[in-house]
């Protein structure tokens, strides 16, 4: 029988191979796979860890986004101070979560309206009694197609500032929602790419996701109601001042001023930044959980891994200002 001598000369490793690489992110192999520490996350992660709150407790979830908030009852009449502090937490953490909040449809709308005017989505059916709530009712007959990284309604001239999603009925396994930090995505770009996209704009279009709802003879009518909209590729958050990537595969058609192939290559690269795991947080739903996300600062992805189980959610969306560079 052959035995292996652990002291043999071929065992040359004296330390972790990463020790000689330092703390620099790099690409590996012919596929140019990015590996290494996401060092650009450290300052924001530490800043968030030092925040303090008066009206609730916070458990930080992701490095630069995501916090679970406890010790507050959203079904009650909250003080202006509590609402102001929730708005501040939203700006800081980009997406905040609440458990065990059995909101009625009216309470859901009333809570959301504390943060601004609510929008009505023209293409997704509402709650039968409350038109300001979009209802996502998935089952064996109606499958989930929201499993792609996107901001909501960037095809509007004034896209949503934020959205509040309430879990009505969720499967025991699956149906999580993931969120990706678009400030971290921007900060993780190399300087050459940042300089290149500075000042660029892109065209956004509802037809990419909702055009199949209309017969050909009605498409021009819908286009007249919702024309193509141009937004900056990089926007500035109106509250935090952070730079954010603002393109997504669902609604962004092209980058203005580039030929089709060049636009497609650049858009694919920029959209792929949402897929970086270090930029993400994942939320597992329970009945009466709430997610409140800043639609400017994050993209989200609803995992469609629960078919044929039921998943019923309702969302209120808060109108925002037009994005600016």
Catalytic residue among 108, 151, 231, 315: 315
The answer to whether residue 152 is catalytic is yes
Catalytic residue among 121, 279, 300, 311: 300
Q: With H, G, I as helix, E, B as strand and everything else as coil, classify residue 108.
A: helix
Catalytic residue among 152, 181, 288, 294: 152
263: its two tokens: 């636009």
The residue behind tokens 């969720």 is 170
Rounded to 5°, angle at Cα 78 from 77 and 79: 125
| Helix segments in 80-213, DSSP class H | 80-93, 105-113, 182-187, 191-197, 207-210
From residue 193, how far is each of 121, 190, 268, 278, 325 by CA, in Å? Answer: 34, 6, 13, 20, 16
The answer to whether residue 190 is catalytic is no
Burial of 192 (0-12, 13-18, 19+ CB in 10 A): exposed
Catalytic residue among 150, 166, 204, 311: 150
The residue behind tokens 């038109």 is 131
From residue 66, how far is each of 60, 63, 97, 179, 275 by CA, in Å? Answer: 6, 8, 8, 8, 16
The answer to whether residue 225 is catalytic is no
The answer to whether residue 279 is catalytic is no
Catalytic residue positions, numbered:
150, 152, 300, 315
């Amino acid at each position: 029988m052959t035995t292996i001598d652990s002291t043999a000369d071929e065992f040359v490793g004296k330390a972790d191979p990463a020790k000689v690489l330092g703390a620099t992110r790099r690409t590996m192999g012919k596929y140019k796979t990015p590996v290494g520490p996401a060092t650009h996350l450290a300052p924001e992660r530490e800043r968030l860890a030092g925040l303090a709150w008066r009206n609730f407790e916070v458990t930080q979830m992701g490095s630069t986004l995501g916090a679970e908030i406890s010790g507050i009852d959203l079904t009650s009449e909250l003080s202006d101070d509590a609402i102001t502090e929730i708005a501040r937490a939203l700006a800081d953490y980009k997406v905040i979560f609440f458990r065990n909040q059995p909101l009625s449809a009216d309470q859901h709308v009333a809570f959301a309206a504390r943060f601004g005017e609510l929008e009505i989505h023209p293409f997704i059916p509402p709650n039968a009694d409350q038109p300001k709530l979009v209802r996502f009712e998935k089952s064996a007959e109606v499958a989930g197609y929201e499993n792609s990284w996107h901001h909501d309604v960037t095809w509007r001239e004034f896209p949503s500032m934020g959205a509040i999603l309430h879990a009505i009925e969720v499967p025991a396994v699956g149906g999580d929602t993931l969120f990706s930090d678009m400030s971290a995505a921007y900060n993780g770009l190399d300087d050459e790419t940042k300089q290149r996209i500075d000042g660029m704009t892109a065209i956004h279009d509802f037809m990419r996701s909702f055009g199949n709802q209309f017969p050909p003879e009605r498409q021009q009518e819908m286009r007249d109601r919702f024309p193509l909209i141009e937004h900056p590729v990089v926007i500035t958050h109106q509250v935090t001042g952070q730079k954010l990537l603002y393109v997504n595969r669902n609604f962004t058609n092209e980058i203005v001023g580039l030929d089709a192939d060049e636009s497609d290559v650049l858009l694919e690269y920029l959209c792929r930044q949402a897929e970086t795991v270090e930029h993400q947080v994942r939320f597992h739903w329970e009945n009466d959980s709430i997610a409140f996300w800043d639609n400017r600062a994050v993209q989200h992805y609803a995992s469609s891994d629960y078919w044929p189980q039921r998943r019923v959610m309702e969302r209120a969306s808060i109108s925002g200002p037009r994005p600016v560079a």
